[in-house]
Amino acid sequence: MKGRLSLNIIRQIVLFGFTLLMFLPFLWIFLSSFKTNIEIFQIPFKWLPSTWHFENYLVPFQDNSFALFFFNSLGVAIVVTLCNLLFDSLVGYALALFKFPGRTILFFFILGTMMLPVQVIIVPLFLTVKSFGWLNSYLALTVPGFMSAFGVFLMRQWFLSFPKELIDAARIDGAGELKIFFKIVLPTAGPALGALAIFTFMANWDSFLWPLVVVNKEQFMTLPLGISAFVGQYQTAYNQLMAVSIVGMLPILIVFLLFQKQFVQGIASTGTKG
């Protein structure tokens, strides 16, 4: 009994050590966001700033366009996430609970697209967006991401466990397919929707390559593009850059805290269905 207790204590200490080691870079970024540029690079190194410069969080949003970049990223991430929750759920529901010719082939085709790196499809996707006249617009930032192969896979795996008897009973009572989906099936998919929301929001909030390709006007730039443009050729305000990076972490942290329970349940459940 004592040996098992000692082993648990050692395991907890080791896990705490690894957690602290992973947290230290974020702590350094947070503390550096209150320093001057000189203090960040001074030797010997000091964790705490000599004077706390809270204006580092205000100047980038007052003197630059970071407020615009922030809300552009937030709007794009929210719109794309909501569309993924709707469209991926509809397709996953059809693939899981409807029988039609070619269903399995279609599903494996969708899975196959997950194996293609984004660099392979970015040129034809760019040409398609350009042919529609969507360059330098919010449509270019949002529409190509309205659905994802991963989201379809995740929702299909969840819906495979839904009792088909309930759907048959609803059809007998005269309910239409959309009513069955929105009133009966979708409300049970909270964990899977929570996991999909986190993955989709994070991917679009941190997206850099696609906005870089389709946007070159400041009014449509997202936060990652704004941060990259903040790095000057001859001088960079690293303290303000750290502050903007901390602000950029907050939406992802908030979304994860809101959906963390559904995230764990969704990943655990969808991974055990075939």
Residue 115 is predicted with a pLDDT of 86
Predicted model pTM: 0.84
Closest CA to 208 of 221, 217, 218: 221
Cβ contact 162:97 at 8 Å:
yes
Give the Cα separation of 88 and 148 in Å (integer).
7
Give the Cα separation of 208 and 258 in Å (integer).
25
Residue 151 is predicted with a pLDDT of 93
Give the Cα separation of 83 and 93 in Å (integer).
15
Query: What is the full per-residue pLDDT of the chain (274 aa) written as tens digits?
Result: 566 767 788 888 888 888 888 888 888 889 999 998 888 888 887 888 888 988 888 888 876 688 899 999 999 999 999 999 999 999 999 998 888 888 889 988 988 888 888 888 899 999 999 999 999 999 999 999 999 999 999 999 889 888 888 888 888 888 888 888 898 888 888 888 988 998 999 999 989 999 999 998 889 999 998 888 777 655 778 888 889 888 888 888 888 888 777 766 666 665 545 4
Residue 133 is predicted with a pLDDT of 92
The domain ranges of the chain are 59-270
Give the Cα separation of 38 and 50 in Å (integer).
11
Residue 3 is predicted with a pLDDT of 63
Q: Supply the CATH classification number for the domain 59-270.
A: 1.10.3720.10
DSSP at 174? T
DSSP letters, 208-253, are: -HHHHHH--SGGG--HHHHHHHHS-SS---HHHHHHHHHHHHHHHH
Cβ contact 263:195 at 8 Å:
yes
